[in-house]
Structure 1
Amino acid sequence: MKNITFKASLCALAVAGVLNAGVASAADNTSGTIQGKVAAATESNFQQYHVEISNPATGFKKSVSLNASGDYRLPKLSAGSYSVRIFKGDEVKLERTVSVDISRDTVVNLKSGSVERIAVTGRAVYLDTSSAEAGLNISAESLGKIPVPRDVTSVAMLAPGVTLGDTSFGDTGQTFASFGGASVAENAFYINGLNVTNFRNGMGGSGIPFEFYDSFEVKTGGYSAEFGRSTGGVVNAVTKRGTNDFHAGATAYWEPKSLADQAPDVHYRNGEVYINNHDDVRDNMEANIYASGALIKDKLFFYGIVTARDTKQENMLAGSNQIDKYESNDPFWGAKIDWQISADHSIAITAFSDETTNPTYSYDSDGNVKGVTEESRGGKNYIVNYRGYLTDTFTMSALYGVNKYSLTTESDADVNCPLTVDVRESASTVYPGCWVNQIAEKGDDERKAARLDFEWQFDDHLIRFGYDREENSSFSEQHYSGGEYYRYMDTEPGAELNNGGIVPDGVTQVIRIRKLDNIGSFETISSAYYLEDTWNATDELTVTAGIRNETFDNKNVYGESFIKVDNQWAPRLGIIWDVNGDGDARVYGNFGRYYLPVASNTNIRLAGAEDDRSRFYVLDGVNDEGIPSYDPANEIGSELINSNGEVKDPLQIVDQTIKPMYQDEYILGYETVVADQWSMGVRAVYRDLKVAMDDICNIDDVMVAKGYPNNHTSCVLTNPGTDMEVSYTDKDGNLVPVSISAEELGFEEANRQYMAFEYNFAKNWDGVWSLQGSYVWSHSWGNAEGYVKSDNAQDDAGLTQDFDLPELMDGAYGNLPNDRRHTVKLFGSYAIDSEWLLGVNFMLQSGRPVNGYGVGHPNGTPDYGDTFYLDGENFVPRGTFGRTDWVSKVDMSVQYTPEWDMADVTFRADVFNIFNQASVTQVYETAEQSVGVEDRKFLLPTGFQAPRSVRLSASIRF
């Protein structure tokens, strides 16, 4: 039935000569726009026309006038279905029902003088003829037709140029995406206009149940001056809202452990088990109850949702007999109130809580509980949005929001059980002892955000400008479990340890005892203003020119600015050519500069009172409980002090000539409509990380070599590979600035480049089937991945091991961890009849580069680890050991919606990785324990693609 209606609508469109197109350049990130042109309007008669736009679901109705060129425009429209009527006097010349998406323009032009009334039930092909932005817009309704895991990362993965990052990052069950070769910590996430990105280390952000989402916009490049603080991509989402009609429902999802497969076990070369995967257990349940409607018809609307969750996972800790059982069962609540004050003014209030306290029970091989670790995550969030039409051509929007997130991880074993790791060849377990939580932390983050956005339409120009400000605060208190970290290692006489100590004759085993303490509250302030002009230079040519100015101010534990970077000018330029002037083909190009803020992790680690010290001793033995035996008199070398608990003056720890981290991006593309409901496009992308920020840690040696005193500064934040200025304290206690050249520091400049060629196509849903897909050839190369480091799963945003010492970067240039040379994606759905629907989601992707990290270096650098040399002299540069497996996965879904009059009921089954492919996605890349001493875990798999699982669901909606 729907298919017939839709085809009839297409015929009517052809007769009326109406073009419907999607334009992304001129809508804000929580609303869309309807605009168009009346061809018959002239300077002498344009005042006879007006356009009436209404939303029957909410009672919204507004009339707009035409300008002298016959153009009209109505921005700031909530996503939904709208009626568009174009009048000449009292006569309706065109009547049309259209759909409005966030950050898109829906174009309705009147190209004939005849009267037409058209109701569109499907979606025509939309080509973006006014923007060079790249990405994917998809509604929750469309996502419901295909098999997709219910998380934001999985939605982003549908877009071309997005790859899955290493699974080593994040909490249990979390995954993150890499956009365009950037690290997984360089993306931005928005909910109803509020930035909810994790500003501690950039990975992920606050989330809500999938049932609460209404639509998503995945920006992979070319985004406008309104968006910043990202060198990867942007995921912009809005929630559902109430209407005049009362709706209620319940949904339930279950991923039973009985229908889930496990990844293969991993064995040492002698046959012993390293990772036991066959005993892993995953069982997830989720139930949602929601209701929405009008508190006051046409004026005040509500939407409310409560979600109950019960997640259970069991995993064997790699290299040990410890079993961790994870649970998460805290409920979620969310609500949205929309007040339509008048046709010109509206306010929306959103509140939700994603607070969870997730216990992990750790058991030994005999089934005894070792301890319980509790992760407190999430927090309460509040968003207030205002939209106003000040005149027919001048509009504004405003936002204020609070975003809270807990980062507390504590265990009952944190007091008396030291963190213990045994990497000796003779070790029976890698993780002995009674500890269960590596680092105990009390942590809380809070963001307070405000922004104003304005839009002014005049003649052939659309001027957009605005300002936003975020005040972010972080509290952190950290220490190792038990207050100490014991690491037992094999070595050999004469080896040089991390602290420069030489292993004595006859000694083959050592213990490193490390202590770490840090506590403090830190503030970061980010602000920006932007100006952008979208100019319709001709009927076929559109030029978008914008500029964004950003400021980042990171403060130390005393509230003093330790790094403040202002006047970061980010130009954006786009050119779009509507080839035939009919919206059926476009050529577009874009240049953009994007800055990344300094993560608050940098405040905590570099500008706090961190005390980090290590000592090395001869190891005499380890008992059955993992307790070491050593003589304090047999210390090797002196104490290694990474940080001494003192808050350093910013002049000592930050390069005074430092520049902000930014990336330039170039896009060139072509897109065309090839048939009814079909479009295809090609796109070339080049990204160049022009400046990177990281800490270097050879500053004391360089200062001493230049004849200055050793201030035990340890590390300095700078732009690696450039000259810098830093201060030392003279004998009178005065700070004296010193200029140091890049040559003296010994680093090459940080480098990351990305090039991609994309082909994409789409067959829009027509009531029977849809299909969308892409092929991407891409190359990511350089010597620095970005904000975090996948090589060693280091999420120390902005302070990774890269560039700590020049020797660590010798061999670092090559194919980077997020380099996936080939990626094919296909997803779509097919309606067998009015009750049965099939969905499919397919991906084929080549593997990531594999490295082999040694310990030593030909110049005799201390035993630091993670160099590109084995046995201290054999050079093995980045990517020497090939690539991981190709990953192939097919997800399928089937849903049954019986035709019942009382309610909409759906029963559904989704099968992920239906063929249970088990490709290796990560391997252990540390080749040596010490110089010349092999690590037996080298090249063993540490990650596989997710094994087959089944999700069963049922829903009832009134």
Structure 2
Amino acid sequence: MSNARKLFLAASLGTGALFAASLVAPTAALAQSGTTGAIQGVVTDGKSGEKLAGVTVIVTSPALSQTQTAITDENGSYQVGQLPPGDYLVTFYYADITVERSGIHVGIEKTTPVYQKLNMAAAGGETIKIQDTAPTIDPTSTTQGITIDKNYMKNIPVPGRTFESALGAAAGSQNDGAGVSFSGSSSLENQYYVDGVNTTGLTYGTVGSPVINDFIEEIEVITGGYNAEYGRATGGVVNVVTKSGSNEFKGSVFGYYQPGFLTAAAKTTPQNATSIDVKGDVAFDADFGFEVGGPIIKDKLWFFVGFVPAFSQVDYTRTTKRQTDCRQLMPNGELSDCNPTMYGDAEPDIDPNTGFYITDDLESEVRSAKSQTYNSLVKLNYAATPENQGQLAIQAQPATGRSPRLYGQAGQGVKYSLLVSDVSAKWTSKLNDNKTEVEAVLGWHREKYDTDSIDPTMQDEPWQQMLYGDLSHWGPGFGEGPKTNAGCTDNAAPNSSDPYPFITNCPMDVVPYIIGGPGNIQRSLQERRAAKLSITQRVKAAGSHEIKAGIDAENNLSKSARLYSGGAFLYNFVGPQQVYVNRWVQLTDEGNTDPRFDNRCLTPDPTAGPTGGSKDLKCDYLGGTPGSPGTDIEGNTLNWSVYLRDSWQIRPNLTLNAGIRYEEQRLRYASFLQNTVDPLTDEKLGTNAMTLKGNWSPRIGLLYDWTKEGRSKVYGHWGRFYESVPMDINDRSFGGEVFYRQTFAATACGATNMSIGGPDGAGCINTTSSAASNELLGASGVLVAPGIKAQYMDEVIGGFEYEVMDDLKVGVSFQNRRMGRVIEDVSTDGAQTYIIANPGEWSSEDEAAFQQRIDRTDDPALKQRLMNQLRLYQGIRIFDKPRRDYNALQFTLTRRFSKKLYVQGSYTYSRTQGNYPGLVSYDNGQIDPNISSQYDLIELLGNRIGPLQQDRPHYIKLDGYYTFDFKKAGELTTGIRFRALSGIPTNALAAHYLYGSDESFLLPRGQLGRTDFEHGIDVHVGYGKKVGKGMTLELFFDIYNAYNRQGTFNVDNTYAPQFSLSQGGIGGTEQNANPVSGGTYEDLIWVKTIDRDGAESGAPIGRNPNFHNTSSRYAPAYGRFGMRLTF
């Protein structure tokens, strides 16, 4: 069946179901969409309890452009939908009785229950006004999460100025270093929507459009249990609704400023075996701007405009240091005083209390990073009639900045420019006497990102990363200060100025020293063009049904550049006298006569079978200048889905939610590769590199309200959720990425350069000497396993919520998430060929179909190639199936803002265990969704099962604020944000002989315990006073990490670095190690090195002196003050 027919059939099924449903007598109101909420309830006789039909319900709000009306049915029920988030007045008219309920809050995708009892004996014509709040429990939904409104962001000290900084309020969320993760998933598994349009970053799945908080009306964070409307996420869903104009002209002018003098000094995280320590301190972080909205044509056309420039500077204090050799550990366990003559023993001094080398500080300097961002939003809302309304929003965030080089030449670094823009258009129509609703949304998300060298003269120079050398050579040659150069000089001659003549004073073994150009040059452009159409119908049949069907499609485009400045990226291992020359190359077939393909690339032959062999391929070394031939890569992915969902209210207090969603994703080869033959695998490449179809996602949930007033619910939910593969895989695996590494003996690069202490690696770029080894690390040599299926997760949720008294809600829930299938690249032939596959599974049906293809083949060469591929595919099954099991018990408490007090708290006990953390590889810091190194080789899987990086068993969160009303003297608001959480598991890692640093788990994951329990508190104080008619001036001050606990965010888990440390100025040797299956810490001293062929030697591995030292910390205490004038 063609794609067009599939789309037509899916849409017909959904709309056909709705058309049939519309023939049944429906009620007159509709529920919420992705950017709105609803009010529903039952009106009864206050004395007899009889349900009253024909009551007129009118809803008004400053957030609402026009009043909305509903009439109660024969069961006394009513519902008013499509309400923007905000506070509402609900008025009930029955006979000559009028009752007003004010203070009713409606949230995004939340149904607020407002049940009303009418006193039929009340005096006619009298309006009864009730200042009351409705229950905060949504009796129609099983979703887990939190709604964050503008008052929360105003009165709680949120540690940031964009919406991502507020997401940590949700129970089960945490910062994983790449973003905010939810419910045991990694942060790259979320989906982000702004005004109903998907703005998720296309390459990795990060936050694509960081909307500034002052533009936001409300944020909905869904951490589990979402309905069929949502897909493409195995983490959380974040819904952001920006402010809109109304008939009331209002706005604010504001400013925020974080000065350096209100920031505590950051603690250093010193590292052994390096002679440069760096710590960053905020010099300033400031923004100021305005937001204003109002009518253009009253009751017809409204506007909202906001503009906020933001500026920041971080000062990095860079301190050079030298090791000492002048102390001895005394019999009493104390160190002696420094006496080089008596205690110099050719071994650097070590502090026995910390394990760090003892050093002398030599010199400090400050290098600064600067950035500026201009946030803007323009929004128009239009009402042709109350039933037909539209919205157009345009958002832009241009930004520029520069980052200095910290471990290398002064004056060098990278500058960037970024432009994020979004356009969204939405139209909503209520048809058939308001019985049917149609919503259409168009969206365009665009990100453009470029990088260049700060110094234009270095733009075309190759990046050279030097290791296993020292500052005595590098300092004078590359601009270190005079005190550094003098203090790092190594001179063992008698009477020299070197106080420690028997050691290398300033080694650089674990942190590289960088010289040359900017390295990787970015020219990135990403676009998502999206369209959604949904139809909703409410039906009376054995209760009431709300049936919703929809279809959405996304055309995702990516343009990137494959550029290394100077055409190469160099690793110069000065001590071991080895140089890696890394290049981007493009391969072609031998028949191509294009003169730019004038080089030869050598690599092991992935098609040669078990006996091995090598290939000599025609290739082009890609240039380092933007626009060079072959450097521009264009990728494309098409996503589409349909869904059908029914919310069946069997009884007023019993609801069954059932839905089904179908998704497809088509990831395409780069345009220049389509309909060509892969020179590495001899595979003919078509248009689609990988098609993920058959992705059916059932969802079912049941809710029961035992109070029958919307003040309670017991609920359960089960659902399946599929991942949307980010476009990093398009650029790399399906974009013809070929990385050519040549390994040279340093002598091939030329004579010794005294500034380097060995030959300059740049001399090997065009050397005529033969390389010691050649290897194409080429995603162009990637196969896709026949029958590959999409990555998914199953989820079970159960719990209850209860409003124990007005405005005080408690909840308890259990959540289980379990990965069902994963997409990763694997190699079954020792890293020669990579297969995009489902590790641990390849169906017998797909094997049989592939065997039939072999049997039908008459060409002997093709048959042999296919047989080799079959052997590779069969090897997929020997991999351990990826596991990530998340189990959580959550306790929540919410005291909604009323009578000046707001409190929100949660305690989560959770465990996240398995061998697959998700789309972020936390262990080695790799962010390559679905093509990380985690499953590349079977031997890399040893010892990986255990508590994952997200495993923080205990997490306590408490947010709250209180407002003191001093009448004419103004209002004083105090707020707090408290966090306490378990530390992260620690590990012991070593290098793998093929894959390098931190790829081998020496001990079982989590064997060595976890870091310390962390905690911190943030405080807000604000004062506001009316300064004129309709105008209020507010001054506020926030302090973060109030008691300045700069706890451990991460530690160095590298037990053994790839090269042993240099001794006495002599370079270390390469050392790799295999996992110790089921081992303990005591076994580490017996681990032996592995040579480059994977054979174990008799030499023990050398321990990293930084092992389990803190590698990164939480931010120091800092203050921020500001003002806001509202009108």
1:478 aligns with 2:562: yes
1:920 aligns with 2:1045: no
The correspondence of residues 634-713 of structure 1 with structure 2, limited to 5 A, is 637-643=772-778, 653-699=783-829
Partner of 2:499: none
What does residue 546 of structure 2 align with? 462
Counterpart contact for 1:124–1:764, Cα < 8 Å: no
In structure 2, relative to structure 1, the CA distance for the partners of 1:841 and 1:485 (3 Å cut) is same
* 2: CA distance, partners of 1:414 / 1:847: 42
Structure 1 segment 490-569 matched on structure 2, within 5 A: 508-516=576-584, 519-558=632-671, 560-569=687-696
* Aligned residue number for residue 681 of structure 2: none
Contact residue 122 and residue 766 of structure 1 kept, 8 A: no
Is 1:28 the equivalent of 2:33? yes
Distance 2:130 2:516 in 1: 63
Residues of 2 paired with 1:528 and 1:768: CA distance? 45
| Change in 2 beyond 3 A, CA 1:96/1:765 | closer
Residues in 1 aligned to 2:959 and 2:517: alpha-carbon distance in whole angstroms: 42
Partner AA of 2:44 in structure 1: A
Shift of 1:281: 3.4
**Of 706, 709, 720, which aligns to 1:593?**
720
Change (3 A) 1:478 1:86: same
Q: Does 1:775 align with 2:907?
A: yes
The equivalent residue for 1:838 is 974
Report the CA distance between 1:935 and its aligned residue: 3.8
1:396 counterpart = 2:396: no
CA separation in 2, counterparts of 1:635 and 1:319?
38
- Quick one: structure 1 residues 721 and 165, their matched pair in 2 at CA, closer, same or farther if it must change by over 3 Å? same
Check the 8 A contact 2:913/2:951 in 1, yes or no.
yes
Going from structure 1 to structure 2, the CA distance change for 1:751 and 1:623 (only over 3 Å counts) comes to farther
1:848 aligns with 2:984: yes
Q: Report the counterpart of residue 378 of structure 1 in structure 2.
A: 419
Higher helix share: 2
The 1:98/1:679 distance shift into structure 2, 3 A limit, reads: closer
1:64 matched to 2:40? The reply is no
Gap change, CA 1:414 and 1:876, over 3 Å in 2: farther
- 2:876, 2:463 → 1: CA distance? 40
User: Which residue does 2:448 correspond to in 1?
Assistant: 406
> Could you tell me how far 1:803 is from its partner in structure 2?
0.6
Residue 944 of structure 1 is matched in structure 2 by: 1113
Which of the numbers 373, 383, 386 marks the counterpart of 1:340?
Answer: 383
Q: Any idea what SS the aligned residue of 2:939 has?
A: helix
Provide TM-score, normalisation by structure 1. Answer: 0.86
CA displacement at 1:938 relative to structure 2: 3.2
What residue number does 1:215 align with? 218
1:637-674 C-alpha deviation (Å, 9 max, x unpaired) = 53121118xx56xxx61111211000001111121122
Distance 1:683 1:863, change over 3 A: closer
Superposition map of 1:70-469 within 5 A: 70-88=76-94, 92=98, 98-114=104-120, 117=127, 123-149=133-159, 150-166=161-177, 169=178, 176-269=179-272, 274-277=276-279, 280-315=281-316, 325-362=368-405, 368-371=410-413, 373-391=414-432, 392-411=434-453, 412=456, 413-423=458-468, 427-428=507-508, 430-435=511-516, 437-459=518-540, 460-469=544-553
Contact 2:149-2:217 at 8 Å conserved across structures: yes
Q: Are the aligned partners of 2:57 and 2:92 in contact in 1 as well (CA < 8 Å)? A: yes
- Aligned residue for 1:482, secondary structure, equals helix
Q: Displacement, 1:811?
A: 1.1
Structure 2 counterpart of 1:32, which letter?
Answer: G
Q: Quote how far apart the aligned CAs of 1:396 are.
A: 1.8
Change (3 A) 1:79 1:52: same
How many angstroms does 1:298 deviate by? Answer: 1.2
Task: Return 5+ residue gaps in structure 2 as ranges.
Answer: 1-29, 322-363, 471-503, 586-630, 675-686, 1059-1070, 1073-1100
CA contact (8 A) 2:112 2:134 kept: no
1:193-230: per-residue Cα shift (whole Å, max 9, x none)?
Answer: 01100121112221222111111101111011111111
- The letter of the residue matching 2:886 is Y
CA apart distance, 1:69: 2.7
Task: State the one-letter code of the partner of 1:954.
Answer: M
Tell me the secondary structure at the aligned position of residue 940 of structure 2. helix
Q: Which amino acid aligns with 1:918?
A: Q
Q: Distance in 2 between matches of 1:624 and 1:746?
A: 50
Q: Tell me, in whole angstroms, the C-alpha distance in 1 between the residues paired with 2:408 and 2:62.
A: 63
RMSD: 3.0
In the alignment, the residues of structure 2 paired with residue 332 and residue 76 of structure 1 have an alpha-carbon distance, to the nearest angstrom, of 28
Distance 1:818 1:515, change over 3 A: same
Describe the superposition over 1:53-76 as per-residue Cα deviations: whole angstroms up to 9, x where unpaired.
Answer: 334665512333333333222211
Distance 1:759 1:95 in 2: 31
Checking the alignment, whether the CA contact within 8 Å between 2:689 and 2:784 is kept in structure 1 is yes
Q: Cα distance 1:87–1:281, how it changes in 2: closer, same or farther (>3 A)?
A: closer
Residues 745 and 49 (structure 1), Cα distance of their counterparts in 2 relative to 1, 3 Å cut = closer
Give distance in 2, aligned partners of 1:863 and 1:342.
64
Q: Is the 8 A contact 1:612 1:643 kept in 2?
A: yes
What TM-score comes out, normalization by structure 2 length?
Answer: 0.74
Structure 1 spans left out of the alignment, 5+ residues: 1-24, 170-175, 492-507, 702-711, 870-874
Corresponding position of 1:607: 734
Corresponding position: 1:584 with 2:711: yes
Alignment pair present for 1:829 and 2:829: no
- Do the aligned partners of 1:288 and 1:307 also contact (CA within 8 Å) in 2? yes
1:51 to 1:190, Cα distance in 2 relative to 1, 3 A: same
Distance change in 2, residues 1:623/1:337 (3 Å): farther
Please report how far the alpha carbon of residue 635 of structure 1 lies from its aligned counterpart in structure 2 after TM superposition: 6.3
Aligned AA for 1:178? Answer: S
Task: Report deviation, 1:40.
Answer: 5.4
Distance 2:959 2:53 in 1: 47
**Deviation at 1:465?**
1.2
Query: In structure 2, do the counterparts of structure 1 residues 625 and 773 end up closer, same or farther at CA, with 3 Å as the change threshold?
Result: same
Q: 2:839 aligns with which of 705, 709, 720?
A: 720
Alignment-mate amino acid for residue 855 of structure 1 = A
The Cα shift of 1:306 comes to 1.1
**Partner residue of 2:1076?**
none
Identity of aligned residues (%): 26
Residues 809 and 867 in structure 1, CA contact (< 8 A), matched pair in contact too: no
How far has the Cα of 1:255 moved from its partner?
A: 0.6
Aligned partner letter, 1:772: Q
State the Cα distance separating 1:352 from its structure 2 match.
Answer: 1.0
Q: What secondary structure sits across from 2:44 in the alignment?
A: coil
For the Cα contact (< 8 Å) 2:38–2:110, is it kept in 1? yes
Deviations 1:17-55 (A, max 9, x none): xxxxxxxx952110111222233599x997644333334
Q: 1:542 to 1:436 in 2, by over 3 A?
A: farther
Is the 1:575–1:590 contact (alpha carbons within 8 Å) kept by the matching residues of 2? Answer: yes
Indicate conservation of the 8 Å contact 1:810/1:867, yes or no: no
Code of the residue aligned with 2:89 in structure 1: it is S
Change (3 A) 1:282 1:821: farther
Q: Which amino acid aligns with 1:480?
A: Y
Partner residue, 1:898 = 1025
Residues 815-868 of structure 1 deviation map (CA, whole Å, 9 limit, x = unaligned)? 111111110000101123341110100000111112221124xxxx64644343
